[in-house]
Amino acid sequence: MSAAELSAQRNRSIGLALGLAAFLSWGLFPLYFRAVEAVEVLELLAHRIVWSAVFLAPLVIYAKGYGPIRAALRQRRTVLLLSGSTILITLNWLIFIIAIVTERLLEASLGYYLNPLVSVLLGMVFLGERLGRLRWIGIAIAAVGVVNLAAQNDGFPWISLGLALCFGFYGLLRKQMALGARDGLFLETLLLFLPALLYLIWVQVQGQSLFLSGYSLRLDLLLLAAGAVTALPLMWFAGAARRLELGTVGIMQYITPTMQFLLAVLAFGEAFTQAHAITFACIWLGVGFFTTGSLLEGRRVAPAKAG
């Protein structure tokens, strides 16, 4: 095996390790938020924003990433896109926290199964991307599953669709910015840093916060870790995406909702009804068609590019 082949194999192995670390971490996210669920929802969101900015700041400085950041902030279009992505990622975080504390992790996992399908549809509508027949069939079957849940469940599955749409549009906006995962997330959290910090100070002064109140040292440490918990998986994912084929990353991303689904049913004891069974069967079948279509289309494109 040549040196170039060894280097490529090593690079791919690193990519697989980083991808697994990212998707497994996101799959275990519900355990973290269950551990801090005593904290009020908005306060928990504020902690996530503040400590993410604090965690990322020295990394950006060490990597001398402030050059690209300054350049991005000079462009009005990038600032507008960044403002939109900040709102969307904050809504995504808020909805996910609500899903955990209200014991609706099943709906959250459904949202993350739907997210790749929503992202592709948005790419088609806004970026002119095209879909093959199998991927259209996959999306149609998944849509049937969502309609079934809306018709038979206790209400409209807003958590599932909210997570999928927020993250889908977030990815669409981020795709149009020349910012890496670390620098982009740092700017997004920095934009909300001051209001989030002021909110944390306010609830502390009002005596409404459990943080640093003597309630639990374990809780204090977990809240301080919110920045690392948020930023590290995203940085691992960015590293994996640079080293792996798009199809490989596409398949690996289903690790996260599968783990969340298993946690919801087996660990958290959420009710898995007949409506859930039909919906998830449709989603899994739709994902199967969609993934198969993506792989086949990727194989057709590769020879064409090589030619």
Chain segment 198-252, per-residue pLDDT in tens = 999 999 999 999 998 888 999 999 999 999 999 999 889 888 877 877 667 777 8
| Residue 193 token pair | 């840093």
**Predicted model pTM:** 0.87
CA dihedral (14, 241, 256, 31) positive or negative? positive
Smallest CA-to-CA distance from 191 within 19, 42, 52, 294 is with: 52
pLDDT at 241: 78
Q: Among the ranges 9-18, 164-173, 181-190, 260-269, which has the highest mean pLDDT value?
A: 260-269
Q: For the segment 38-77, what is each residue's pLDDT rounded down to a tens digit? A: 999 999 999 999 999 999 999 888 877 678 788 888 888 9
CA dihedral (158, 159, 162, 164) positive or negative? negative
Q: How far apart are the C-alpha atoms of 170 and 192, rounded to whole Å?
A: 16
Read off the pLDDT of each residue in 17-24 and give the average, rounded to a whole number: 93
Q: How far apart are the C-alpha atoms of 103 and 195, rounded to whole Å?
A: 28
From the CB of residue 7, how many other CB atoms can be counted at a distance below 10 Å?
A: 10
pLDDT at 243: 82
Query: Where along the chain do its domains lie?
Result: 3-127+156-243
Smallest CA-to-CA distance from 167 within 97, 253, 90 is with: 90
Q: How far apart are the C-alpha atoms of 155 and 135, rounded to whole Å?
A: 28
User: Helices in the chain by DSSP H: which ranges?
Assistant: 3-35, 41-62, 66-73, 76-101, 105-127, 133-152, 158-175, 181-191, 193-205, 217-224, 226-243, 246-252, 255-262, 274-306
Smallest CA-to-CA distance from 75 within 189, 177, 170, 187 is with: 177
